[in-house]
Amino acid sequence: MKINLNKEHAVEAMLKTVNGKAKNFTITTSSHLKSYYVELAEKKLAEVLPKAAWTGATVECRPEGPSSMSYRYSAKSTRCVLKRGAKDWFLVRAEKDRVYPQSRKICDVTLTDKQALASIEHRKVLLVRDYGVSEEVLYSRDIPVPVAANDNSAPSAATATDEHMPEHQQNAIET
């Protein structure tokens, strides 16, 4: 199944099939998916990737459970998986779920491997652009080492270089 969220009637028909008669704690409309989950997912994605790289990201979403502890049992709910296309979001899975009192709303974004690597590079660009971090620092092999105030056994320098690395790590770097 792959339904564009802009096709509201098709999305709502699928959600109605999944939800049955349940109304509370469920996702019932395309606008609900867009206003709660897509907006939150886009905020999360904007923090780590440029918009052009969002294609392929997935979002698993589910409403929160009852806020009152007087609910003793679980309630019917809806769990949806959305996938980002080139321009739009698509509903790729909708299924029944159960929520318990005070369970959190789920809006978990998952990146592809390629996106995860791109997010690292994007963060580096932002560090250079926004904070003036030099590229030498980003790609430096010197790793800051915390030194305890009364620890005389620690090296006097505040960085760990090759000479302070264990031998097996030095060998791994050389090969």
What are the tens digits of pLDDT across the range 6-47?
999 999 999 999 999 998 999 999 998 999 999 999 999 998
Encoding tokens for residue 25? 């704690």
Q: Is 135 among the domain residues?
A: no
Q: What's the domain count of the chain?
A: 2
Q: Is 52 among the domain residues?
A: yes
Contact 26/95 with Cβ under 8 angstroms? no
pTM strictly above 0.85? no
Tell me: do 100 and 151 sit in the same domain: no
Tell me: do 16 and 56 sit in the same domain: yes
User: Which of 14-18, 103-107, 132-136, 169-173 has the weakest average pLDDT?
Assistant: 169-173
What is the spatial distance between Cα 163 and Cα 166, in angstroms, rounded to a whole number?
Answer: 8
Alpha-helix residue ranges (DSSP H) falling in the chain: 8-19, 30-32, 39-48, 113-131, 135-138, 167-174
Question: pLDDT at position 142, please?
Answer: 56
Give the Cα-Cα-Cα angle 106, 109, 112 (nearest 5 degrees). Answer: 150
Q: Is 151 among the domain residues?
A: yes
Question: pLDDT at position 141, please?
Answer: 57
Mean pLDDT across 81-95: 95
Tell me: do 30 and 105 sit in the same domain: yes
Question: pLDDT at position 55, please?
Answer: 94
The whole domain housing 101 covers 3-111
Q: How many CB atoms lie within 10 A of CB 138?
A: 12
